Structure 1
Amino acid sequence: MCIRWPRILTPTDLSQIIRKQKNPLTALQIFNEAKSMYPSYRHNGPVYQTMVGILGNSGRISEMKEVINQMKNDSCECKDSVFVAAMKTYARAGLMDEAFSLFKNIPKFNCVNWTMSFYTILQIMVNELRFDDARCLFLENCCKWEVSSRIRSLNLFMSTLCEKGRSDVALKIFLAMDYQGCCPDRESYRILMKGLCQDGRLNEGTHLLYSMFWRISQKGSGEDVIIYRTLLDVLCDNGQVEEAVEVLGKILRKGLKAPNRSRFRIDITQCSNVQDVEAIKRLLNEALIKGGIPSLASFSAITIDLYMENKITEADKVVKEMQDTGFRQTLSVYEAKLATLCRESEVNEAVKVIEVEMVKAHCVPT
């Protein structure tokens, strides 16, 4: 082993040296010899992270564990990312208990913020279908000062649960956070509503929507329409048109705070006679936009939602209506349309949006 050692060794120097080694055990040997060769030298967090990453990526789990214990004994300040890498290594090797044990022992390290480790262990537990354990772990740790942004933690966890088809567990977490005085935001409602509807939990979805009226929709925000629309669409798909119209009426009165004179009227018999579910949905979408006081937020939200669903023609109609009402398209609306066109391989149409539509609207591409 031929190493050109510098006259004065810094942790950055050592990181560069061990990264160049093809054999992870050689890198570990150099890592361990550094202190004896340079008595005043001390490892820091980044060099520990480099060593842990090298050993983890090469499957040297026992050696990685020893380095982690050495880092704890050194009590050097370390970043959250070193634990994230180690826990993912344990998970890949099927050592879930080791990953869980490492997370529980993070307070013994000199780490002041372990938010990403918290997200990572939750993800691992959900992937292993340990939903109840994950829920308990979340409630035990989400309010600790080392975990920043309780709402972001809540949203990420609920999103993962809903992707696994466990919106029931996500709902329990949502309600538990509410009792702890943590107020969910609009994104929390959007994630949970989507999950409940995908799992066919329409009663829970309806109650969730009604709870929005006295929580986040007190001032009648137009951005809430995408959450309302999620439930209305699924009710229609499920053949519950009358229920959808009833819910819409409450949305207009209590959610969008529409004054009586501007409230959009829907003929329920017309809806019941329409065989095309998509036609019913379009009618309800129109009601969401016109039913309250028109706003840029409501137009933009529903347009972006339609583009994301690849309903370009419908979205373009809403855009025209938005322009006729006196509102200008926002950059986010153009970006949503471009993303959809590119997904559909409509490159020429995407170019037209940039070179024609955006130029005409005096909107500068980013």
Structure 2
Amino acid sequence: MYPGTLGQLTFDESYKSLLVTQTPNSTKVENPEQHQWSSISNQKMSKASAGVQRIFTIPKPKQPQPQPKPATFPVSIKELANEPDPEKLANTFKQQAAVSVSFRNRHNIYDFTIARLALAKRFSLIEDILESHKDFKEISHEGFAIRIISLYGKAGMFDHARKLFDELPQLDCVRTVKSFNALLKAGVECKRFDEMCTMFRELPSELSITLNRVSFNTIIHALCARGLLDEGLLMLDELKNKGLSPDVITFNTLLDAFYREKGFHGGERIWAIMVAHNVAPITRSYNLRLQAMVDAGELANAVAFFDSFKKDGLKPDVNTFNALIKGLCDLGDVAEAKKWYDRLLDSEETPNRITFSTLVPRFCDCGDYELAFDLSKKMFNRQIVVDEALLQLVVDGLVKQSMVDEAEELVELGKSNSYVQYSLMMPTNDKLPENGDHSV
């Protein structure tokens, strides 16, 4: 409202409308300029005065429609995913973060957005988003700062992660081994292994930070990633010197590296050390050992080792089944691989992307499009992103087998699912695959 206006009427027009003489049958508006004020009784003056008060208080005049403001409720991942413009995506994200504490607490939406911008190589937009978080009061909490450091690491922006870590004291955030470990992890994700090793040796004493087991596990990971497996193994001695003991994560990191780089017998050396430290292996440990058997061509031993899971109180997971399925497929024994796929379905585990990429080409080669269709639907139901070319292969094969309804269902799922859009097409006759031609 502007002074001197009331809705669509001017102030003077509104005031004129107050002076109303009401009778049971009519309502007459008088012109105040022609009215003789001296002839108005005190009672009418009182009524007019009351009318003035009412008109300016009840009802309230209509206000101009406000401009739309950013929603104060968090947007969904789907809404952000549907925004094709990276700059608009970043602006929407910043607006939401600025007005909603609950939005700032949604880790998944942060992970998704930063990953998407990193994939598009829009690092300046990532910097713009994350640097703005220094203005929020939560930045003085180490846990919040750790999230930002970690996001920089996931985006491959280690220098920004290090800069934020160095700035934390100026942001009233006390640095402990937790934020230091987050910085080390960012170094692993950015493959800045040399700098990590330097930080590991120098920063703790400079900052009066006491390293913990997580710190050592992270540096062991870095050393193994650099191919320095023996140096990683020597860290067990440093752990002991610090009064710390290795855990199953320590040994799984070493097992993964030694089985992969030094073969089955090299990994068995680490397995023996793990047993000597009285560290109980977990399902991942068993999976690493089983995978090493498969890689060594000892598939029969791997199948026999599968039975030891239950005997030792462990439950095979989808990765256990995938290792055996892939090993059998590589040997060309698709029939046996199908049996293990059936065992996977009978268990409480569910197929994943690796299961799909391993089996779908084999199912198509065998002409078993019903199984390929069923596995494809499972991927949609679980919102697992898979290779579009493999999905198209299934669609083409279904049409060729006259399973048109199933093919159309997959095409529709590719368009209508809420997490990623696939450009699947119903094939024409001249684009149908020939028998045995299932290359992707």
Which residue does 1:79 correspond to in 2? 103
Any idea what the Cα deviations from partners look like across 1:12-54, whole Å, max 9, x if unmatched? Answer: xxxxxxxxxxxxxxxxxxxxxxx96369x9755325x469966
Residues 155 and 191, structure 1, Cα contact 8 Å, conserved in 2: yes
**Structure 1 pair 119–141 and aligned structure 2 pair: CA distance change class (3 A):** farther
Other-structure match for 1:328: 312
TM-score by length of 2: 0.44
2 CA distance for matches of 1:95 and 1:339?
35
Measure, in 1, the Cα distance between the counterparts of 2:89 and 2:79. Answer: 11
Give structure 1 stretches of 5+ with no counterpart.
1-34, 238-276, 359-363
Cα distance in structure 2, aligned partners of 1:98 and 1:215: 42
Instruction: Give the Cα–Cα distance (whole angstroms) in 2 for the partners of residues 222 and 67 of structure 1.
Output: 39
Cα 1:339/1:212, change in 2 over 3 Å: farther
Q: Provide the C-alpha distance between the structure 2 equivalents of 1:87 and 1:223, rounded to a whole number of angstroms.
A: 27
Aligned to 1:136: 163
* 1:157 corresponds to: 186
The residue identity in structure 2 corresponding to 1:137 is: L
CA distance in 2, matches of 1:183, 1:98: 34
Q: Which amino acid aligns with 1:351?
A: D
Structure 1 residue 340: Cα displacement: 1.9
Deviation for aligned residue 1:160 = 0.8
Q: Give the whole-Å Cα distance in 2 for the aligned partners of 1:190 and 1:52.
A: 36
Change (3 A) 1:76 1:216: same
Corresponding residue for residue 284 of structure 1: 269
Question: In the alignment, which of 58, 65, 70 is matched to residue 37 of structure 1?
Answer: 65
Per the alignment, residue 290 of structure 2 pairs with 307
Q: Which moved more, 1:142-151 or 1:55-64?
A: 142-151
* Counterpart for residue 58 of structure 1: 84
RMSD after superposition: 5.2
Structure 2 residue matching 1:307: 3-state secondary structure: helix
Alignment of 1:93-104 (within 5 A): 95-104=122-131
Equivalent position to 1:169, from 190, 195, 202:
195
Cα displacement (A) at 1:330: 0.9
Q: Is the 8 A contact 1:125 1:134 kept in 2?
A: no
- Bigger Cα Rg: 2
Counterpart-to-counterpart distance in 2, 1:322 and 1:95: 45
Q: Which amino acid aligns with 2:162?
A: R
Higher RCO (Cα < 8 Å, 6 or more apart): 1
Alpha-carbon offset, residue 348 of structure 1: 1.1
Deviation string for 1:181-227 (max 9, x for gaps)?
364445x5455434322323346424423223245853x75664434
Instruction: Return the alpha-carbon distance in structure 2 between the equivalents of residues 341 and 284 of structure 1.
Output: 23
Identify if the C-alpha distance between structure 1 residues 150 and 65 changes in structure 2 by more than 3 Å, giving closer, same or farther: same
CA distance in 2, matches of 1:92, 1:283: 38
Measure the CA separation in 2 of the matches of 1:320 and 1:50.
Answer: 44
Identity of aligned residues (%): 11
- Residue pairs, 1:110-259, within 5 angstroms: 113=144, 116-126=147-157, 131-141=158-168, 144=173, 150=179, 153-154=182-183, 156-161=185-190, 164=191, 166-175=192-201, 178-179=204-205, 180=207, 181=209, 183-185=211-213, 189-202=216-229, 204-215=231-242, 218=245, 224-229=250-255, 237=262
Report the Cα distance in structure 2 between the residues aligned to 1:138 and 1:184, rounded to whole angstroms.
18
Q: In 1, distance between residues paired with 2:177 and 2:302?
A: 37
For the Cα contact (< 8 Å) 1:83–1:102, is it kept in 2?
Answer: no
Tell whether the 8 Å contact from 2:223 to 2:232 is kept in structure 1 after alignment.
yes
Please give the alpha-carbon distance, in whole angstroms, between the structure 2 residues aligned to 1:215 and 1:313.
43
Instruction: Please state whether the residue corresponding to 1:57 is helix, strand or coil.
Output: coil
Q: Could you tell me which of 328, 340, 343 is aligned with 1:349?
A: 340
The TM-score with structure 1 as length reference comes to: 0.50
Match of 1:257 in 2: none
Query: In structure 2, what residue type is equivalent to 1:157?
Result: A
Distance 2:304 2:217 in 1: 24
Structure 2: give runs of 5+ residues left out of the alignment.
Answer: 1-62, 330-336, 351-440
Q: Is the CA contact (8 Å cut-off) linking 2:156 and 2:189 kept in structure 1?
A: no
SS at 1:105 equivalent: helix
Deviation for aligned residue 1:305 = 1.9
Q: Is contact 1:177-1:183 (8 Å) kept?
A: no
- Deviation per residue, 1:293-349 (Å, 9 max, x gap): 5x6x137564232235445655556666788xxx63311x45542232344452313
Determine if contact 1:84/1:120 at 8 Å carries over to the other structure: yes
**Following the alignment from structure 2 to structure 1, what is the Cα–Cα distance between the partners of residues 161 and 239?**
26
Alpha-carbon contact 1:56-1:85 (below 8 Å) kept: no
- 1:116 to partner: Cα distance: 4.4
